[in-house]
Amino acid sequence: MAFQQALSGLNGASKAIDATSHNIANSSTVGYKSSVAHFGDVYAASLAGAGSSQIGIGVNLAAIQQQFTQGNITSTNNPLDISINGAGFFRMDQNGATTYTRNGQFHLDKNGYVINDQGMKLTGYAAQSGIVIPSTPSPIQISASDLSPQATGLNSSSTFNGVKASLNLDSRKTMPTTALNDGAAAGSSTAFAPDPLSYNYSTALSIYDTLGNAHTQTFYFRKTANAGEWAVYSNVDGTTNQNVSSSTQTTAGQGPIGLLQFDQYGKLTSNPITVTVDMLKVMQSSGQPLGNGSLSPQTFTLDFTGTTQFGSAFGTNRLEQDGYAAGHLVGLSIGADGVVQGRYSNGQTFAQGQVVLANFTDPNGLQALGNNQWSETSTSGPALVGAPNTSSLGVLSSSTVEESNVDLTAELVNLITQQRNYQANAQSIKTQDQIMQTLVNLR
């Protein structure tokens, strides 16, 4: 029986060496998880039950268990390389078949799909108009189309519409003595050209028409004779005042477009102002008598929320608008939440999709397919799919990969130990052979 025991020991040691050699071979494989051979002793079945003198008949390979511990994170130069810090697997699609992996080395194919080296497609939630819509995961496809321009005040996806300005108007200033040319009578060609001595402060920003053309809108702030009141004037591209009007003006294109009024504590009490820009007149005044074909007139809101009148110097704390020019895709980035952001030449970013992760109750129940791919089995349980950094799922890091979790030093020590086990089992066979030879030589 010692031959059987020793042979099973040789076989077991050989399997352990195989597992260790496989780990060593994949010590530089991205996303690889090391394997450990588990063994169990073997006893002969007995109808009378086990006695105190029962001797086992060897060892067998109980299982090869993978260790799903975290590997080190290494930086790369590819923005589509992704590592998972924590639990979870990337969900891949290959012609409708779903597999799972920890290898985050991805790139784009000719159709814009995010794929791995085997051509499998990374899946996630799709995005519509820059908004991620959680639904059934599908292959993530990056759109290379140009981003359409967005006119100021007409951006339905923006958190605000029009222009937002937050200023401080110095309460110590008085009304200028020089009169401000606030526009001519309707139909006159007299330009709006305020003398710098006729207003206290001015500021400007770019606004956009429906074709994405940028126009400079300038605001002039003039202290009035009334306490805590400032008149706001405006023009676009330095053209006539008649190109900018508001419902508060007594005559279209004349006078201030609005009044900012403050209480005794310097807090704004009047807000907002709705203005209309006659883009056709702006373009004609700029030497384009037929205009550029954009929407005209263009109406939007001037929101002065946060504007104050304190006894300190004039300052602009916020000045922004929600329009932008057309742009083309110049780069991609992936956030910790898995959202794939497209960066455009006009400075805008839009979501192209969101990477999802999948986790399992028993990852060791997954079936290894090679190429760092696993498939779901009844033992692993169903995939629990969700966005990164939710539930038990880890976070993502762009331009990084997860190294193999193989401890090369420990594996080399294990290799030596298993070699000694193999030699010891071979010695058992040699000893049994010598015993048998002694019996044969008996007279």
User: Does the domain formed by 163-321 have CATH 3.40.640.10?
Assistant: no
pLDDT tens for the 443 residues of the chain, in order: 678 888 888 888 899 999 999 999 999 999 999 999 998 888 877 656 555 667 888 888 888 899 999 999 999 999 999 999 999 999 999 999 999 999 999 999 999 999 999 999 999 999 988 889 999 999 999 998 999 999 999 887 777 889 999 999 999 999 998 887 765 444 444 455 678 898 999 999 999 999 999 999 999 999 999 999 999 999 898 876 668 888 777 665 567 899 999 999 999 998 899 999 999 888 887 777 677 888 999 999 999 999 999 999 999 999 999 999 999 999 999 999 999 999 999 999 999 999 999 999 999 999 999 999 999 999 999 999 999 999 899 999 999 999 999 999 999 999 999 999 889 888 888 888 788 888 888 86
Residue 324 to residues 97, 152, 215, 384, 428: CA-CA distances in angstroms? 41, 7, 11, 40, 81
Strand pairing category for 107-108 and 73-75: unpaired
Residue 403 near residue 74 (C-beta atoms within 8 A):
yes
DSSP 19: H
Q: Which amino acid is at 328?
A: H
Residue 69 to residues 34, 123, 406: CA-CA distances in angstroms? 9, 23, 10
Burial class, 182, CB count within 10 angstroms (exposed 0-12 / middle 13-18 / buried 19+) = buried
Across the strands, what pairs with 23? none
Residue 102, pLDDT score = 96
Omega of the bond prior to 149 within 30 degrees of 0, cis?
no
pTM of the predicted protein model: 0.79
Strand pairing category for 163-168 and 298-303: parallel
Residue 188, pLDDT score = 45
* DSSP codes joined into one string, 289-333: TT--S--SSEEEEEE-TT-B--SS--EEEEEEES-B--B-EEEEE
Sequence spans of domains, the chain: 2-69+405-440, 73-147+329-402, 163-321
Residue 250, pLDDT score = 61
Separation between Cα atoms, residue 107 and residue 79, nearest integer Å: 9
Residue 429, pLDDT score = 83
Q: Which amino acid is at 220?
A: Y
Closest to 19 measured CA to CA, from 8, 1, 34, 6: 34
Residues 6+ apart with CB under 8 A from 87: 359, 392, 393, 394
Residue 153: CA count within 13 A, CB half-sphere: 21
382 phi and psi, to 5 degrees?
A: -70, 155
* DSSP codes joined into one string, 11-32: HHHHHHHHHHHHHHHTTTSTT-
Burial class, 330, CB count within 10 angstroms (exposed 0-12 / middle 13-18 / buried 19+) = exposed
Rounded to an integer, what is the distance from CA 364 to the centroid of its chain? 29
Residues 6+ apart with CB under 8 A from 69: 33, 405
Across the strands, what pairs with 368? 374
Separation between Cα atoms, residue 22 and residue 14, nearest integer Å: 12
Residue 123 near residue 93 (C-beta atoms within 8 A):
yes
Separation between Cα atoms, residue 98 and residue 367, nearest integer Å: 12
Tokens of 133: 């819509």
Residue 91, pLDDT score = 97
Residue 191, pLDDT score = 52
Across the strands, what pairs with 141? 113
Q: Which long-range contacts (CB under 8 A, 24 or more apart) does 22-25 make?
A: 23/406, 23/411, 24/406, 24/408, 24/411, 24/412, 24/415
Separation between Cα atoms, residue 82 and residue 70, nearest integer Å: 14
Token look-up 């702030």 returns 221
Closest to 394 measured CA to CA, from 16, 70, 32: 70
Q: Tell me the residue length of the chain.
A: 443
Residue 178, pLDDT score = 86
44 phi and psi, to 5 degrees?
A: -75, 140
Q: Which amino acid is at 344?
A: Y
Closest to 37 measured CA to CA, from 58, 59, 55, 20: 20
Hey, how many other C-beta atoms are within 10 angstroms of the C-beta on 126? Answer: 20
